[in-house]
Amino acid sequence: MTMNVFFFSDESMHKLYIDYGKYDFIQQIPQILYSNIVSKLSEIILCYLSLTDKSFYQIKNKILKNSSIEIRIIYKCINIKLIIFFIFTFIFLIFYWYTISAFCAVYKNTQIAFIKDCILSFILSTLIPFAIYLVPSALKVCALKNRNCKCSIFIYKLSEIIPIF
């Protein structure tokens, strides 16, 4: 919702005023796409701070090698990452809450369009993961069906690269 506030420009509010509050979906598509892209980028950063599975695999390997000093270092790194994650998340939530409430208080006549944009952004953000994981799956199936083709190795490696998270 906050990313939609950031991309809600004076031009779009003026267009709403000229059209007597009529919602124009076509005009809002770039705004919805921009807000989704910025949201995904911030999600990647927060995932980097919160995902600790690689560290636990390292700990598992260090336990087998009986190196307790390295395990303590890894635990400290995990704790630091999680503390930074929770601090950033808390600060972001307070900032987002304040931004949305201030926007809705100041621009009372644009609240309906804002809510529609938020709903469309939410729908788009729930459909994007299906596309992101459907394409690599289809590429893997095509590569495995055509094993004799030389390009099947390239297609299979491409299918492993596409999903970032």
The single-letter code of the amino acid at 71 is: I
Tell me if 160 is assigned to some domain: no
Tell me if 152 is assigned to some domain: no
Tell me if 149 is assigned to some domain: no
At residue 150, what are phi and psi to the nearest 5 degrees?
-70, -30
pLDDT value of residue 115? 85
Tell me if 142 is assigned to some domain: no
pLDDT of 32 higher than 90: no
The single-letter code of the amino acid at 5 is: V
DSSP assignment letter at 1: -
Q: What does the angle CA 146 – CA 150 – CA 155 come to, to the nearest 5 degrees?
A: 70
Tell me if 134 is assigned to some domain: no
pLDDT value of residue 164? 59
CB 85 within 8 A of CB 46: yes
pLDDT band at 64; cut points 50, 70, 90:
low
The single-letter code of the amino acid at 83 is: I
Q: In terms of Cα–Cα distance, which of 114, 123, 93 is closest to 7?
A: 114
* Domain of 41, in residue numbers: 2-128
- Assign 149 to helix, strand or coil: coil
Tell me if 151 is assigned to some domain: no
Please state the domain count of the chain. Answer: 1
pLDDT band at 163; cut points 50, 70, 90:
low
Question: What b/e readout covers 14-52, taking b as 16+ CB neighbours within 10 angstroms?
Answer: eebeeeeeeeeeeebeebbeebbeebbeeeeeeeebeeb
DSSP assignment letter at 26: H
Token digits of residue 32:
């919805």
pLDDT band at 91; cut points 50, 70, 90:
very high
Percentage of residues in the chain having pLDDT higher than 70? 92
pTM of the model: 0.64
Tell me if 31 is assigned to some domain: yes
Tell me if 68 is assigned to some domain: yes
